[in-house]
Chains A and B, each alone.
Chain A
Amino acid sequence: MAIWETLGNLTLIALILMVYSFPLYKENLFYRFVEYLFIGVTIGHATVVAVQFLQKNVLSPILGGETFLIGVLLLSALLFTRFYRPYAYLARWPMSFLIGSMMGLRIFASVNSAKRYMLATAYNPLAQPDLLSQLGSVFVIIGYITAALYFTWGWEHKGPLRWTDKIGRYLLMTYFGVSFGSIAMARFTWFSGTIKTLLTAMGLI
Chain B
Amino acid sequence: MSSLIRRKEITIAIMLFCAFFVFADRAYKAPILLDTSKWVQKWVLAISAVTMIVTFISSIIRNTRRIQTSLSEGDGPDAGSSIVGQWFYYGTTLVASVLTVAVGLTMGIQSNPYQWMYQYVFQNLATAIASFLGLFYIGAAFRAFRARTAEAAILLICGVTVMLTTNPFGEAIWSGFPVIGSWFLNWVSIGSRRGMGLASSVGTVALAIRVILGYERSVSAGGE
Which of B17, B26, B156, B158 counts the most chain A CB atoms within 10 A?
Answer: B158
- Contacts known (A40-B96, A197-B124); A180 close to B144, Cβ less than 8 A: yes
Say yes or no: A101 contacts B53, CB within 8 Å. Answer: no
Nearest-CB residue, chain A, relative to B8: A92
Say yes or no: A180 contacts B159, CB within 8 Å. Answer: yes
Give the A interface residue count (CB, 8 A).
Answer: 119
Contact of A98 among B47, B116, B157, B195 (CB under 8 A): B47
Nearest-CB residue, chain B, relative to A46: B52
Nearest-CB residue, chain B, relative to A149: B195
Indicate with 1 or 0, residue by residue over A172-205, a CB within 8 angstroms of chain B CB atoms.
1111111111111101101111100100000000
Indicate with 1 or 0, residue by residue over A154-182, a CB within 8 angstroms of chain B CB atoms.
00000000000000111111111111111
- Contacts known (A58-B46, A181-B166, A185-B167); A176 close to B155, Cβ less than 8 A: yes
A114 interface residue (CB < 8 Å to B)? yes
Nearest-CB residue, chain B, relative to A145: B195
Say yes or no: B154 contacts A76, CB within 8 Å. Answer: no
Say yes or no: A173 contacts B155, CB within 8 Å. Answer: yes
Say yes or no: A12 contacts B15, CB within 8 Å. Answer: no
- Contacts known (A83-B58, A187-B137); A114 close to B202, Cβ less than 8 A: yes
Say yes or no: B151 contacts A96, CB within 8 Å. Answer: no
A4 to B116 CA separation, bound complex (whole angstroms): 8
Say yes or no: B159 contacts A181, CB within 8 Å. Answer: yes
Give the B interface residue count (CB, 8 A).
Answer: 126
A-chain residues with CB within 8 Å of residue B30 when the two chains form the complex: none
Contact of A47 among B22, B56, B179, B183 (CB under 8 A): B56
A47 to B105 CA separation, bound complex (whole angstroms): 9
Distance in Å: Cβ of A196 to nearest Cβ of chain B: 10
A29 to B99 CA separation, bound complex (whole angstroms): 22
Say yes or no: A171 contacts B47, CB within 8 Å. Answer: no
A24 to B55 CA separation, bound complex (whole angstroms): 34
**Would you list which residues of chain A between 64 and 89 have a CB under 8 Å from chain B?**
68-69, 71-73, 75-77, 79-80, 82-83, 89
- Contacts known (A54-B49, A147-B196); A177 close to B117, Cβ less than 8 A: no
Indicate with 1 or 0, residue by residue over B88-129, a CB within 8 angstroms of chain A CB atoms.
111011111111110011000100100011111110110111
B-chain residues with CB within 8 Å of residue A150 when the two chains form the complex: 195, 199
Say yes or no: B15 contacts A50, CB within 8 Å. Answer: no
- Contacts known (A100-B19, A117-B194); A184 close to B141, Cβ less than 8 A: yes
Interface pairs (8), CB distance under 8 Å:
A19-B129, A47-B53, A48-B101, A53-B49, A76-B46, A97-B18, A184-B137, A194-B128
**A interface residues (Cβ-Cβ under 8 A, vs B):** 4, 8-9, 11-12, 15-16, 19-20, 22-24, 32-54, 57-58, 68-69, 71-73, 75-77, 79-80, 82-83, 89-90, 92-94, 96-111, 113-114, 117-118, 120-121, 132-133, 135-137, 139-148, 150-151, 168-185, 187-188, 190-194, 197
